[in-house]
């Protein structure tokens, strides 16, 4: 067994242990509580834990399948997120051709380029070529009502759901001296630090939260929760430095950057949901909403993390 296999199994065992403890706590709380019916806080907690079991299993299988498995996994996530986003937009029949091209040509080409390490292509393909082509397809149909809104919404859906998300598997293409064959851990580092920041912000907010940051967008987000969550997640990132090419101080600094970007990503996604009058992007993942609800923090942090690491550590 290689070193990366041993480290991966150890990390996987740690995550499984945490989930086992969480499942046991949920089981005990359900037995002891008199309010554990449908819709209760405990039932919601159990649903979230069960959903995490499914997501961890899926991600573990993808990781064990290697780079191809990871790219395919995030391509599927992008497709599902793109579909979720479009359900909230003003797209009309005149835009269907542009949407089909985006979903079945642009998306696959973006991920094929990522899998082939064509940085010069996937870094500009969507924000330049796709963004120029999509409004052309819509304009050719002659429907001018809300044209600017429709085009902007479709472009933003593509940027959020495909371009930003594709930078997660793009981490596999980085060529970092002395770190060959271990790039999967960069994805692990990014996802764990950013997602744990969300959870820790919620916990610190419940414990100490008083001053709300954006009450109209997300009433549960407080300054105390934000600071506590970001600092705690940065400490976790520093503790995980051993699976990265970074020093402990560098891992802490990068964690600080991606958790801050993750917070703003969640805030932007909340603003869009408020604008559309919805609570969740979807209901595909029980207890978690839709794919974008799970990816919102990673969406903003992934491109920043990728380009910082590529600029300072990658040999290109």
Give the residue extent of every domain in the chain: 1-64, 68-173, 180-316
pLDDT grade, residue 1 (50/70/90)?
very low
pLDDT of amino acid 48: 61
Closest CA to 39 of 285, 286, 292: 286
C-alpha triplet 197, 157, 187: angle, nearest 5°:
40
- The pTM score is 0.85
Q: Which of 44-48, 197-201, 205-209, 276-280 has the lowest mean pLDDT?
A: 44-48
Q: Please, which contacts does 232-241 make with residues 24 or more away whose CB atoms are closer than 8 Å? A: 232/196, 232/197, 232/200, 232/204, 233/193, 233/194, 233/196, 233/197, 233/200, 233/259, 234/193, 234/259, 236/192, 236/193, 236/196, 237/189, 237/193, 240/189, 240/192, 240/193
Q: Report the percent of the chain where pLDDT is more than 90.
A: 45
What gap in Å lies between CA 74 and CA 174, rounded to an integer? 17
pLDDT of amino acid 149: 92
């Amino acid at each position: 067994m290689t070193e990366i296999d041993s480290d991966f199994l150890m990390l996987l065992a740690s995550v499984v242990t945490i989930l086992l403890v969480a499942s046991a706590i949920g089981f005990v709380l359900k037995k002891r509580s008199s309010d554990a019916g449908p819709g209760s806080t405990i039932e919601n907690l159990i649903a979230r834990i069960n959903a995490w079991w499914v997501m961890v299993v899926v991600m573990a299988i993808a990781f064990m399948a290697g780079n191809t498995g990871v790219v395919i996994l995030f391509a599927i996530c992008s497709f599902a997120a793109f579909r979720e986003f479009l359900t909230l937009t003003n797209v009309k029949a005149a835009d269907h051709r542009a949407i089909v091209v985006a979903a079945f040509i642009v998306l696959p080409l973006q991920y094929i380029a990522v899998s082939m390490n064509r940085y010069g292509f996937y870094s500009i393909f969507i924000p330049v070529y796709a963004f120029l082509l999509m409004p052309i397809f819509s304009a050719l149909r002659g429907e001018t009502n809300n044209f600017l809104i429709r085009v902007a919404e479709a472009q933003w859906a593509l940027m959020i759901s495909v371009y930003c998300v594709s930078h997660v598997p793009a981490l596999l293409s980085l060529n970092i001296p002395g770190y060959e064959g271990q790039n999967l851990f960069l994805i692990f580092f990014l996802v764990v630090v950013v997602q744990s920041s969300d959870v820790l912000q919620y916990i610190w907010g419940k414990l100490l939260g008083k001053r709300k940051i954006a009450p109209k967008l997300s009433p549960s987000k407080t300054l105390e929760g934000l600071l506590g969550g970001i600092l705690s997640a940065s400490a976790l990132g520093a503790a995980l430095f051993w699976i990265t090419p970074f020093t402990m101080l560098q891992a802490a600094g990068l964690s600080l950057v991606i958790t801050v970007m993750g917070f703003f990503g969640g805030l932007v996604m909340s603003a869009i949901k408020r604008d559309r009058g919805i609570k969740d992007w979807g209901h595909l993942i029980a207890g978690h909403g839709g794919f974008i609800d799970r990816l919102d923090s990673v969406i903003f942090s992934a491109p920043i993390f990728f380009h910082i690491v590529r600029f300072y550590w990658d040999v290109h």
